[in-house]
Amino acid sequence: MPQSTLSANRVLELLGRPVSRAELEELLFASKAELSAWADDDLTVEVTPDRLDLLSEGGLALHLQGAIGARAGPVAIPAGTGTVEHPTVLVDATVAPIRPVLAGALLLPPPGVALDAGLLAEAIRFQELLHATVGRDRQAASIGLYSWERTRPPVRYALEPVDGVRFTPLDGAAEVAGPAFFHDHPMAAKYGRFGRSDGECLTLRDADDQVLSLPPVLNGRGAGEVRVGDRGLLLESTGMRPVRVEESVGLMLLPFVARGWAVRPLRVEYPDHVESGVDWVSSRRLPFSAPTLREVSGIALSGRPVEELLAKARLGATPAPDGWWVEIPPWRPDLQTSVDLTEEVLVARGLDVGEALLPPSATRGRRLPESRFRRRVRALLLGGGFVELRTTVLVAGRAVERLGRSTAVSLVNPVSEMFSRARDSLQVSLLATLERNVRNGYPQRFADVGPVLVVDATEPSGARTRWRAGLVVADERAGFAEGAAWVDYVVGAFGALGVREPAELPGTIPGRAARLRIAGDSVAEMGEIAPAVLADLGVPVPVVWAEVDLTTLWPLVRRNGGP
C-alpha cells in the first residue's frame, strides 16, 4: 500500500494536543491507515490506495481532528482577498495531441504569513507521491508549483520546437539549450517522452517569455523555483484526461488549505472554450441514500446521528428527501457513491460486528467442500517447501504487459498504475514476487492459491472469477520437468491423471511449455519463463512456472477432494 514519512511535529501542531504512539496506532487502525514507524520526528504512515489525502501532514491532521473530536464538519477553503490578479493560462491548440488538459489554482497565504520550510518540504513530498500514484509516474498527470510573485501573467501552455527552447533547469546553474537538456538530463531521460513529439516539446511560459517549466519534466529557475518566503504560488497540473488532472489538483490543495491558505481557481482559456476552474477547488455535493445506508450497513442509523458521524469524517451533510446531500472536498475523489459514504459513516462510528445483521449464508458454521479442496492444495504446496503467498487480484499494468497477457482486464479508473489491471493468471503475481526478491539468495520457491479474473462476455461484469494454484521455482537447475512433475503431483493427489500437450503460453520459452488436459478440459499450464522476461525482472537464474485451474479441476475430482 502507498506510504510516506511525515513530520510528526507538524501533524501534532495542527492537531493541537499530544498523542501517544498507542493512541495514534488505535486511531489509524480504526480508519484506512496504519502506523508503520515513529522515530523522533519521522512518522511513517501506510494507507489504502483510496486515502492518499492521509499521506500529507495536513491531511492526516485534519482526519485526526475529526477522529478525536477536536474539530468536526467540512474544512473551509478560504477564497482570499486582496488585489492579486486573477490567474489565467492560455492553452495553445498545439498541445492537444500530446497532453491536452490543464487545471490549477492560485495559492495565497494568510495575512502576514509566508511559505515556510516545513510546508515547502511537505508540498514537495506530497507532489512526488501524487506523481507516483494518481499521475502514474507523471504519464497521466504531473504537478507544477511556481512563484506567483516572480511570474507575469498570463501564462501560456504550448508545444514549440525544441531547438528554440533555452532555460536554466531547476537543479542547474547555467542556461542550456533544449536539445542538450533532453539529451543529457536524467529527468528528461525518464519523463521526456511524455512531453515531446517530432522535434517539439511542451512549455509553460509567462508574459515575459520566461520558461516556468517543460511539462511534465522539470521546472526552470526564476518563477519555477519555489522558495521559502514566497507569498503566492501557482499550482498547475497537466495530463491526458481531465479526471486525473483535476484529482491531482484537488489533492495538492490539501497541505495548503490545512494551514489556512486561500485558493483561487485558475482560469484556463482553450482555443474553443474557457474553463473557470471553480469546480477544481470547490466542494461538490453528493446524494447519500438512506436506504443504501441501511441495506449495506445492516444498522438502523438515520437523521442527526448520521450527520454527526459525517461531520466527524470532516464532511458536511444536510437533510434531503430519502437521505442527505453531502459536501465532498476536492481532496476526496474516492467518495463517488452512497456505498462510499456508508463506509465513511461506519469508519467514523467504529465497527462492531455484534450489532450488524447476519445475512443468510450457505457457509454459516462450515466450509464449502470446494473451499476445503483449495485448502488441501495449499497444504500440499506448503508441504513441498514452497513459501506461501497471499497476493492481490489487482496488479501493475507493467507486470501484465511484460508477459504479453493481452486478456488481462484493464480498470477504467484505477487508483494508480500499481493496481491498474486485474490478473488473469497467478503467473503475474508470482513473477512480480521474484522481482521483489532479486537481492535474496537462490533457490527461491513461491506458491499461491487465489482468484483470477477471466474475460467472459456472458457475465454481467464482463469477467468471471476462477481459483488457481500457482508456483514458481527460481534455481540454476530449474526446468520444464520440475514444473510438470509438480502439476502431476497436485492433480494426482486427488486421484486424477491428465494428458500433457505442447502449448505456446505467455511469458514462456517456445517449445518449453505445455497444458494438461483431463477429460478434454484444460486444467493446468506450465513452462520455463523466457530469458527476456527474466532479464526484465532482474532474475539471474532459470525459472519454471506451473498453474492449476482449481475451478476446472474440482468437478473432476469432487469425490476425492474432501478434507
The C-alpha atoms of residue 513 and residue 496 are separated, in whole angstroms, by 21
Contact 447, 545 (CB under 8 A): no
Of the candidate ranges 75-84, 112-121, 183-192, the one whose mean pLDDT is the lowest: 75-84
Confidence category of residue 513, pLDDT binned at 50, 70, 90: very high
The reply to whether 39 falls in a domain is yes
What is the pLDDT averaged over residues 51-58? 95
Of the candidate ranges 121-130, 361-370, 414-423, the one whose mean pLDDT is the lowest: 361-370
Of the candidate ranges 68-72, 350-354, 383-387, the one whose mean pLDDT is the lowest: 350-354
Residues 347, 379 within the same domain: no
Confidence category of residue 525, pLDDT binned at 50, 70, 90: very high
In the three-class reduction of DSSP (H, G, I as helix; E, B as strand; rest coil), residue 536 is classed as helix
CATH number for 18: 3.30.56.10
Residues 495, 537 within the same domain: yes
The reply to whether 76 falls in a domain is no
Of the candidate ranges 126-130, 205-209, 411-415, the one whose mean pLDDT is the lowest: 411-415
Confidence category of residue 150, pLDDT binned at 50, 70, 90: very high
Cell of 394: 489487482
DSSP state of 85: P
> What are the pLDDT digits (tens) for 24-41?
988 888 888 899 999 999
Residues 229, 133 within the same domain: yes
- What residue type is 262 in one-letter code? A
What is the pLDDT averaged over residues 338-349? 92
The reply to whether 322 falls in a domain is yes
Confidence category of residue 561, pLDDT binned at 50, 70, 90: low
Closest by CA position to 84, among listed 212, 208, 233, 209: 233
Chosen domain end from 355, 388, 406: 355
What is the pLDDT averaged over residues 57-64? 95
What is the pLDDT averaged over residues 181-188? 95
Cα 74 → chain centroid: 25
Calculate the dihedral angle through the C-alpha atoms of 56, 220, 202, 84, rounding to the nearest 10 degrees.
70
CATH number for 259: 3.50.40.10
Of the candidate ranges 103-112, 357-366, 448-457, the one whose mean pLDDT is the lowest: 357-366
Q: Which helix (H) or strand (E) holds 553?
A: helix 550-557
Contact 467, 551 (CB under 8 A): yes
Helices (H), 56-156: 57-68, 117-132
Q: Which helix (H) or strand (E) holds 187?
A: helix 186-191
Residues 212, 126 within the same domain: yes
The reply to whether 184 falls in a domain is yes
The C-alpha atoms of residue 122 and residue 127 are separated, in whole angstroms, by 8
Residues 382, 517 within the same domain: yes
Query: Pairing relation of β-strands 176-177 and 196-197?
Result: unpaired
Residues 351, 378 within the same domain: no
Is 101's pLDDT higher than 90? yes
- Would you state the pLDDT for residue 361? 62
Is 381's pLDDT higher than 90? yes
The C-alpha atoms of residue 258 and residue 249 are separated, in whole angstroms, by 15
What is the pLDDT averaged over residues 333-360? 79
Residues 108, 138 within the same domain: yes
The C-alpha atoms of residue 383 and residue 493 are separated, in whole angstroms, by 13
Is 362's pLDDT higher than 90? no
The C-alpha atoms of residue 492 and residue 524 are separated, in whole angstroms, by 12
Is 367's pLDDT higher than 80? no
The reply to whether 223 falls in a domain is yes
What is the pLDDT averaged over residues 415-432? 90
The C-alpha atoms of residue 93 and residue 159 are separated, in whole angstroms, by 9
Q: Which helix (H) or strand (E) holds 511?
A: strand 508-518
The C-alpha atoms of residue 16 and residue 353 are separated, in whole angstroms, by 32
The reply to whether 430 falls in a domain is yes
Percent of the chain with pLDDT over 90: 76
Is 358's pLDDT higher than 90? no
Residues 448, 478 within the same domain: yes
Residues 158, 225 within the same domain: yes
Please give the full DSSP string across 233-284, using - where no structure is assigned.
EEEEEEESSHHHHHHHHHHHTHHHHTTT-EEEEPEEE-SS-EE--HHHHS-E
Percent of the chain with pLDDT over 70: 95
DSSP state of 195: S
Is 330's pLDDT higher than 80? yes
Residues 188, 57 within the same domain: no
Q: Which helix (H) or strand (E) holds 509?
A: strand 508-518
> What are the pLDDT digits (tens) for 280-294?
899 999 999 999 999
Is 279's pLDDT higher than 70? yes
Is 130's pLDDT higher than 70? yes
Chosen domain end from 18, 39, 68: 68
What is the pLDDT averaged over residues 127-143? 95
Dihedral-angle region of residue 209 (phi above 0 means left; psi in -120 to 50 means alpha; beta otherwise)? left
> What are the pLDDT digits (tens) for 428-451?
999 999 999 988 899 999 999 999
Chosen domain end from 240, 258, 281: 281
- Would you state the pLDDT for residue 17? 87
Is 541's pLDDT higher than 60? yes
- Would you state the pLDDT for residue 360? 64
Residues 405, 541 within the same domain: yes
Task: Supply the angle between the helices 338-349 and 304-312 in degrees, to the nearest 10.
Answer: 80
The reply to whether 403 falls in a domain is yes
- Would you state the pLDDT for residue 28? 87
Cell of 163: 531547438
Number of folded domains in the chain?
4
- Would you state the pLDDT for residue 85? 65
510 vs 426, 469, 528, 536, 547, CA distance in Å?
Answer: 20, 23, 9, 18, 17
Cell of 42: 519521522
> What are the pLDDT digits (tens) for 252-272?
999 999 999 999 999 999 999
Cell of 230: 514566497
**Structural domain boundaries enclosing 198:** 88-281
The reply to whether 83 falls in a domain is no
- Would you state the pLDDT for residue 83? 55
Closest by CA position to 507, among listed 484, 482, 524, 532: 532
What is the pLDDT averaged over residues 176-204? 95
- Would you state the pLDDT for residue 433? 94
Contact 448, 510 (CB under 8 A): no
Helices (H), 272-334: 278-281, 290-297, 304-312
Contact 221, 214 (CB under 8 A): no
Is 314's pLDDT higher than 60? yes
Which contacts of 130-135 are long-range, i.e. CB under 8 A and separated by 24 or more positions?
A: 130/52, 130/248, 130/251, 130/252, 132/2, 132/416, 133/2, 133/49, 133/52, 133/415, 133/416, 133/418, 134/52, 134/244, 134/247, 134/248, 134/251, 134/415, 134/416, 135/216, 135/239, 135/244, 135/248
Between 314 and 361, whose confidence is greater? 314
269 vs 187, 277, 322, 475, CA distance in Å?
Answer: 29, 10, 40, 59
- Would you state the pLDDT for residue 364? 60
- Would you state the pLDDT for residue 243? 94
- Would you state the pLDDT for residue 352? 55
Residues 337, 299 within the same domain: yes
Considering the chain, what is the average pLDDT of its residues?
91
pTM, two decimals, is 0.66
The C-alpha atoms of residue 515 and residue 526 are separated, in whole angstroms, by 7
